[in-house]
Amino acid sequence: MNDSKELFFVDSQAMPPRPPEFWPALVVTGEQIEGEIARLSGKPIAEGDIRRAYVVHPDAVEPGLGLAPGIDVSVNVLLPGESTRPFRESASSVAFCIRGQGTCRVDARTMDFTTNDVWNVPSMGVFSYRNASTEPVVFLSYSNAPVLKKLGVHVFETAPEAPPRMQVVADAEHKEKMQRAKASATNAAIGSDGARVLGYEYLIDIDVVTSRPLAWPWKEVSQHLDAVEHLGGAAGKGYQGRHLVALYNPATERRMGTTPAFFASIAQFPPNRVDAPHRHSSAAINYIFAGDGRSTVEGRKFTWKAGDLMLSAPGWAVHNHAAGEHGCNILTVQDHPLQIAMESLIWQETLKGAIFKMGAEAGAQTNIADSIAAE
């Protein structure tokens, strides 16, 4: 321990490579969540604030408390007639409504939501919530704020009424006549393998991929779930993949995310379906909103039911899931896109299969074509 606050060096032999250390998997019961909803509902708050509490893993340490090392999960409540003032933050988030109906406004877009709906809030989007109904609305929100807090760069603030933006030229003809500064900057090849040197202007004027607030209403998403549930037959035993749909945001491109940091997926498992044990470096958090089942993580067995929240896959821990006799619906949030961006997402679809670096090598293949043909 260096208490002098001075620069020091550590010899590499004193810092040998360490095996992965997993936060233990755990289940937050629906009863615990209901207790927190009741506490938040009875709590006095200042006008414009939000009734919010974070679900924090026992192994989490400041800065950046979360349910997984890079993912925080909060329980949010708005009573009838309540609304929040506008906020913005440098983290991005994805949310899931577990009860009631409300409205989320992000920049110029207003999204109404109700039970089982999903939506995202892009980084630095000015957002606010409103409950115009006669019943409380409750939603879970997942963000990558713990990562930014660990780096010391998380920004969360009450948003100004009209936050300053870079000037955007909307007129297409005028835009064609304009020359971006980087067109005059250094851009030269180094060698013949693709390496280049670029001027400063390339660092500050990155080509824009617009990140929009998007919504995935349950009434539309649910229409696609019967098809994935029945892949491989009634029990799904002939299908090698997962019975789910990913909620895709085009702004994440090849990272296959709902936000730049996370994907959210919704699974509809057939009754008694048992997944093969597998592992991946991305962490996964499951919210069970219908049915029940069990999970095995590093040899430890857990049972869960509708209303429970589970840290189900600490990074690189061997795990699998099994649905109960009535099947189940699960929302999973996983930091898969963040790890693809860092080129660190390693994946093993079955323990007998190869470990591959997802997004840099050919991915795992399933037998979906055969499963569809057999129906």
Regarding predicted confidence, which is higher, 194 or 176?
194
Distance between CA 332 and CA 345 in Å, rounded? 17
Residue 61: predicted pLDDT: 96
Whether residues 139 and 238 share a domain: the answer is: no
Let me know: does 296 contact 57? Beta carbons within 8 Å: no
DSSP string for 94-142? EEEEEESEEEEEETTEEEEEETT-EEEE-TT--EEEE--SSS-EEEEEE
Whether residues 353 and 223 share a domain: the answer is: yes
- Whether the pLDDT of residue 233 is over 90: the answer is no
Whether residues 227 and 146 share a domain: the answer is: no
HEC string of 209-252? CCCCCCEECHHHHHHHHHHHHCCCCCCCCCCCCCCEEEECCHHH
Q: Which of 152, 183, 204 represents a domain boundary (last residue)?
A: 152
Residue 114: predicted pLDDT: 98
Whether residues 237 and 368 share a domain: the answer is: yes
Q: Which of 137, 152, 167 represents a domain boundary (last residue)?
A: 152
Residue 363: predicted pLDDT: 75
Region 173-194: what's the mean pLDDT? Answer: 83
Q: Which of 105, 124, 152 represents a domain boundary (last residue)?
A: 152
Whether residues 135 and 225 share a domain: the answer is: no
Residue 165: predicted pLDDT: 61
What residues form DSSP beta bridges with 104?
111, 129
Regarding predicted confidence, which is higher, 164 or 131?
131
Let me know: does 139 contact 33? Beta carbons within 8 Å: no
- Whether the pLDDT of residue 18 is over 70: the answer is yes
In the chain, alpha helices (H): 30-41, 145-151, 172-177, 200-204, 218-221, 225-229, 336-341, 368-373
Residue 360: predicted pLDDT: 85
Nearest to 310 by CA among 19, 21, 20, 23: 23
Domain extent for 343: 215-373
Place of tokens 């962490």: 283
In the structure, what pLDDT confidence band is assigned to residue 238 with cuts at 50, 70 and 90? confident
Residue 206 lies in a domain: no
In the structure, what pLDDT confidence band is assigned to residue 162 with cuts at 50, 70 and 90? low
Residue 2: predicted pLDDT: 53
Whether residues 229 and 367 share a domain: the answer is: yes
Residue 229: predicted pLDDT: 94
- Whether the pLDDT of residue 175 is over 60: the answer is no
**Helix then strand then coil, % of the chain, to nearest 5:** 20, 35, 45
Residue 181 lies in a domain: no
Whether residues 220 and 331 share a domain: the answer is: yes
Residue 85 lies in a domain: yes
Number of structural domains the chain divides into: 2
What is the domain-level CATH number for residue 97? 2.60.120.10
Record the tokens describing residue 212, joined without a space: 């929009």
Record the tokens describing residue 340, joined without a space: 């693809």
Residue 16 lies in a domain: no
